[in-house]
Homo-oligomer: A and B are copies of this chain.
Amino acid sequence: MGYKITLIPGDGIGPEIVREARKVLDAVGKKYGHEFDYTEILMGGCSIDAYGVPLTEEAVNTAKASDAVLLGAVGGNVGNSKWYDVAPNLRPEAGLLKIRKDLELFANIRPAYLYSELKDACPLKDEIIGDGFDMVIMRELTGGLYFGERHTESVNGVMTAVDTLTYNEEEIRRIAIKGFEIAMKRRKKLVSVDKANVLDSSRLWRKVVAEVSKDYPEVEVTNMLVDNCAMQLVMNPGQFDVILTENMFGDILSDEASMITGSIGMLSSASLGKTKLGLYEPSHGSAPDIAGKNIANPIATILSAAMMLRYSLDLDKEADAIEAAVAQVLKENYRTVDIMSEGMTQCTTTQMGDLIANHL
């Protein structure tokens, strides 16, 4: 069967890692008899260079008309680049925020787990790691401070900036449902993170999560304050299965969680909405300093492609095959430089893509 895939190579290492993911998808297609029909669109700095905006309406329409979107990364070094001396809505990252909003991708899923083969790269001590950890951050992605009204104005001669954090019960309910659904497929433990001792939006969040939880009596739910969660991630990451939280808290906590794995180059993510159409991207950024050197780790993007097969195209078997190939290549001790250690075989971006494609 044929599937329409929008590819967004983006900036920095984006094009290199998306190329490898495409290589792996093609190998999957060949093996299982699927045709992937790719259309590339520009987003981020490359789109600014070409069109003066980080994402055109045409590009959005292309994405909307496809079955799924696979993204590399967008942006450069903030404050250090020609792309950043402009209004915020014209900067590379604005493309990412726009596509999330235009495609209504309200649910961002970021797995963070310890690879047993890469335990040495984990910054945490063995006593803290214990039996390892394997969690998923379910982050609300189209609400809160990111999309609230904002303005800067002079109040009696004093410049004053205002951002608004808004959530309504429907926005909270739909992300909470996604959180509980994923918890049901996992260890059935959900920690909802908020700042209910301060914020009205967090109190509404807590109330709606409690309501939704009634439909999932098997899931053990607890509430945790965001500051406490930032501590618990470092102290006892093994306690978490699913973390459900709003946009800004999710931004901070998912980055913290990905870093405690020690293998951010391995972590994929999915952004989902009401339809099957989703956007898939590595958890890491565009790493402009290593762009073009053929040393970036393509695994996070390749695993994002696997998530894409699973969530948007219902190709579970094919997704499993990619994940198994990645595991096998790691087991055979191949490593890109970011996860390199003694006794392993170092390989380039393209070599890693080839290895995974060949192991399918």
Residue in chain B with minimal CB distance to A79: B223
Q: Which single member of B78, B91, B163, B166 contacts A201 (CB below 8 Å)?
A: B163
Q: Which residues of B contact A230 (CB under 8 A)?
A: 230, 252-253, 255-256, 259
Q: Which one of A3-11, A26-34, A151-159, A287-295 contacts B?
A: A151-159
- Cα-based distance from A74 to B1 in the complex (angstroms): 62
A231 within 8 A of B: yes
Chain B CB within 8 A of A170 CB: yes
* Pairwise interchain contact A168-B160, C-beta atoms closer than 8 A: yes
Interface centre among A78, A158, A200 (most CB of B within 10 A): A200
Q: In the assembled complex, which residues on chain B have CB atoms less than 8 Å from the CB atom of A122?
A: 125
A124 in complex: contacting residue of B124, B204, B253, CB < 8 Å: B124
Q: Which residues of B contact A151 (CB under 8 A)?
A: 200
Q: A234: CB under 8 A from chain B?
A: yes
Separation of A201 and B165 alpha carbons in the complex (Å): 12
Give how many copies assemble into the complex. 2
**A265 CB → nearest B CB, Å:** 13
Complex formed: what's the CA distance from A205 to B260 in Å?
29
Q: By the criterion CB–CB under 8 Å, are B256 and A234 in contact?
A: yes
The CA of A162 and the CA of B256, in the complex, are separated in Å by 26
Q: Roughly how many angstroms separate A159 CA and B145 CA in the complex, as a whole number?
A: 18
Q: Considering only CB atoms, which chain B residue lies closest to A170 in the complex?
A: B158
Q: Told that A123-B128, A124-B124 touch, could you supply 19 new A-B pairs with CB distance under 8 A?
A: A97-B198, A123-B125, A148-B162, A150-B199, A152-B200, A152-B204, A158-B169, A160-B168, A160-B169, A162-B164, A195-B248, A226-B251, A227-B252, A230-B230, A230-B255, A231-B259, A233-B256, A234-B234, A249-B252
